[in-house]
């Protein structure tokens, strides 16, 4: 049985005819759905439509605080020339650039030994870089006379350069990022601003925001050069009329906060300052290797992680995780703490496929089977953005402030 939607209160799952891709049965709330006398029903189509109705119902609740965490799944296959890549695909990019033979020699040199049943190297670039990082101070290549030596530190730099290149993306027309932003930011202007935490190095959310005339509070100053300071996250944008009868702030629409805990292709250090520039030569990025946990305690990364933890402690908070693999321990730990300590915390996980078996994800799958405040959704980002509920009450063009009654039902953990 394969789940398409899972929540302690409701679920949608399908099963296939043995050895085929044909859906044999649809399970709604763990009961086989009876299509009655309907001839040749499209069972998969029905299951997908039901799944979307369920998560739209869940997301139609008005949450006072809304945070979004995105991983590689929100960028994969998106871009004009370069397209967003998964880690396994970045391995292939490295292989194409330096050749399979050289990459295998590098793996052998640094003692990266993870192989599948066929004897091929497992495409885990994070583990390879971690292993190489440990080996660089102790291992020296001694090649045959007719071969140049592999310099481990130089090879690490070359791989990181390929990652930078492949993560420099141009937002295409019709991108789901713009659609998603337009929907999630439709809320009362007096409510806390949407907070988007992206673990991706690319600037797709920034580009989408600029194209739609959003004001992005990203920790950098509004003056040139744009320099980073954590206090910039404490500012907001209000309209101050020349003659005001009431002494109250008029918060403008189309503003969101953006945090990048792993850095960005457009960040660069300039002396003691961190600046944002379109032409960064040495971008500030935490590359996928074990030292990234240590790096996350340095600025500006520490500020981003601190803000993430703070956001999860707010009352009436929904965290939307999109395309996140749950392999980053420091981030997963913060989410688990929120589930255990914050009774009003709600979690929605959107990934291509609901993974029941992986070590990183099993605890969340088990929790979603029991509790109503966790929902797992099998959906790609492009489709999730399209079917995310569009709250017409808070249209950006409408200046009226319409209050929608909150009606949240959160199961207390037993």
| pLDDT one-digit tens code per residue, 340-353 | 999 999 999 999 99
Q: Say whether both 181 and 120 belong to one domain.
A: no
Q: Say whether both 381 and 291 belong to one domain.
A: yes
Specify burial of residue 348 (Cβ count, 10 A radius: 0-12, 13-18, 19+). buried
Which domain range does residue 157 map to? 87-166
Q: Say whether both 386 and 316 belong to one domain.
A: yes
Whole-number pLDDT of residue 251: 80
Looking at 114, 143, 166, the residue that finishes a domain is 166
Residue 73 falls inside a structural domain: yes
Taking every pair of C-alpha atoms in the chain, what is the biggest distance, in angstroms?
85
Structurally, how many domains does the chain consist of? Answer: 3
Whole-number pLDDT of residue 408: 38
- Pull the structure tokens for residue 408: 């949240």
The Cα–Cα gap between 406 and 76 comes to 35
Whole-number pLDDT of residue 394: 60
- Pull the structure tokens for residue 8: 């302690």
Strand partners for 251: 238
CB atoms within 10 A of CB 255: 18
Q: Say whether both 125 and 150 belong to one domain.
A: yes
Q: Say whether both 232 and 286 belong to one domain.
A: yes
Q: Say whether both 387 and 288 belong to one domain.
A: yes
What is the layout of strands, in order, in the sheet containing 226-227?
Answer: 226-227, 273-276, 267-270
Nearest Cα to Cα of residue 340 among 320, 360, 312: 312
Contact 165, 82 (CB under 8 A): yes
The Cα–Cα gap between 183 and 121 comes to 42
Sort strands 317-322 and 2-7 into parallel, antiparallel or unpaired.
Answer: unpaired
Whole-number pLDDT of residue 412: 42
How far apart, in Å, are the Cα atoms of 261 and each of 47, 225, 330? 36, 21, 11
Q: Say whether both 40 and 152 belong to one domain.
A: no
- Pull the structure tokens for residue 191: 């409510």
Whole-number pLDDT of residue 262: 93
How far apart, in Å, are the Cα atoms of 106 and each of 137, 140, 155, 211, 251? 15, 11, 8, 43, 55
Residue 399 falls inside a structural domain: no
DSSP 406: P
Looking at 146, 166, 186, the residue that finishes a domain is 166
Residue 403 falls inside a structural domain: no
* 3-class secondary structure, 152: helix
* pLDDT < 70 positions in the chain: 241-249, 290-295, 392-414
Q: What is the DSSP string of 246-293?
A: S---EEPSSEEEEE-TTB-TTEEEETTEEEE-TT-SS--B--SSTTHH
The Cα–Cα gap between 300 and 285 comes to 10
- The per-residue pLDDT for range 22-75, each reduced to its tens digit, is 999 999 999 999 888 777 789 999 999 999 999 999 998 878 999 999 999 999
**pTM for the model:** 0.89
Whole-number pLDDT of residue 360: 85
Whole-number pLDDT of residue 295: 67
């Amino acid at each position: 049985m394969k789940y398409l939607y899972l929540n302690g209160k409701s679920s949608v799952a399908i099963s296939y005819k043995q050895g085929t891709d044909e859906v044999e049965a649809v399970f709604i709330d763990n009961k086989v759905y009876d299509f009655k006398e309907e001839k040749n029903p499209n069972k998969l189509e029905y299951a997908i439509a039901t799944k979307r109705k369920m998560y739209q119902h869940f997301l139609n609740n008005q949450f006072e605080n809304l945070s979004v965490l995105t991983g590689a799944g929100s960028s994969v296959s998106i871009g004009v020339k370069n397209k967003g890549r998964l880690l396994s695909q970045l391995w292939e990019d490295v292989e194409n650039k330096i050749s399979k033979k050289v990459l295998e020699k590098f793996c052998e040199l640094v003692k990266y030994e993870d192989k599948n049943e066929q004897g091929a190297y497992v495409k885990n670039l994070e583990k390879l870089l971690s292993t190489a990082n440990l080996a660089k101070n102790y291992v020296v290549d001694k090649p045959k006379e007719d071969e140049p030596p592999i310099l481990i530190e130089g090879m690490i730099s070359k791989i990181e350069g390929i990652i930078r290149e492949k993560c420099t993306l141009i937002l295409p027309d019709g991108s789901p990022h713009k659609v998603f932003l337009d929907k999630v930011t439709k809320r009362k202007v007096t409510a806390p601003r949407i907070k988007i935490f992206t673990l991706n190095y690319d600037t797709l959310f920034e580009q989408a925001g600029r194209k739609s005339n959003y004001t992005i509070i990203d920790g950098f100053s509004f003056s040139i050069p744009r320099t980073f300071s954590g206090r910039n996250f404490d500012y907001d944008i209000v309209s101050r009329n020349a003659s005001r009868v009431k002494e109250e702030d008029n918060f403008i629409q189309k503003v969101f906060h953006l945090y990048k805990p792993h850095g960005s292709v457009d960040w660069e250090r300039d002396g003691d300052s961190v600046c944002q520039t379109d032409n960064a030569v040495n971008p500030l990025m935490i590359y996928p290797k074990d030292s990234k946990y240590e790096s996350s305690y340095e600025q500006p990364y520490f500020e981003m992680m601190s803000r993430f933890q703070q956001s999860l402690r707010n009352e009436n908070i929904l965290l939307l995780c999109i395309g996140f693999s749950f392999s980053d321990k420091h981030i997963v730990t913060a989410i688990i703490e929120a589930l255990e300590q914050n009774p009003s915390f709600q979690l929605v996980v959107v990934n291509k496929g609901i993974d029941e078996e992986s070590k990183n994800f099993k605890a969340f799958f088990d929790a979603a089977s029991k509790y109503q405040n966790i929902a797992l959704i099998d959906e790609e980002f492009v489709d999730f953005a399209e079917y995310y509920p569009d709250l017409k009450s808070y249209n950006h063009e409408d200046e009226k402030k319409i209050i929608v009654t909150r009606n949240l039902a959160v199961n207390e953990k037993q």
